[in-house]
Structure 1
Amino acid sequence: MNCIFSACIGTTRSAFAREALRAALGKVQVKEMEKKHREGYRRKPVVKGEFSVWEEAQALGF
C-alpha cells in the first residue's frame, strides 16, 4: 500500500483488527449454535403433528 492505513480503509489498524476479531468470533459462535441446533433435532426428531397447531394458526393469518 502506498497510503497510510487509516486513509486507505477509513479506520486505524487497531480498530480494523478489533472488528475482524469480533467478526471471526461471531462466525464461530453461529457455527456452534447451529451445531447444537442440529444435535438437538438429532436427539429429539420432530414428530408428525408436532407443529400442526402452529400451521393452522399461520393458515388463518396469525
Structure 2
Amino acid sequence: MFGKRKNPSSPITKPNDQYRLKTTGQQVTLLEDLGDGNVRIAMDRGPVGRDDIVSSRDITPA
C-alpha cells in the first residue's frame, strides 16, 4: 500500500550573493554577471539604493 520512503535529497542552497568592495570594504549584493569580467552590483547607501557596474576583480566574497 505504501511504497518505500526515499531518503530526502540535500536541500538546494542558494549561492551566496554577498560581496565586499576591495577598495572600501562596503558590502554589496551581486546582481548579475555581465561577462567580459564585469558584474552589476547593488549598494545600500542610507535610504537610497543604487547599482553600479564594476570589474569582478574588484569584489571579494563577504
TM-score (norm 1): 0.28
- The structure with higher relative contact order (CA 8 Å, sep 6+) is 2
- Structure showing greater Rg: 1
Higher normalized strand content (fraction of residues)? 2
TM-score (norm 2): 0.28
Higher normalized helix content (fraction of residues)? 1
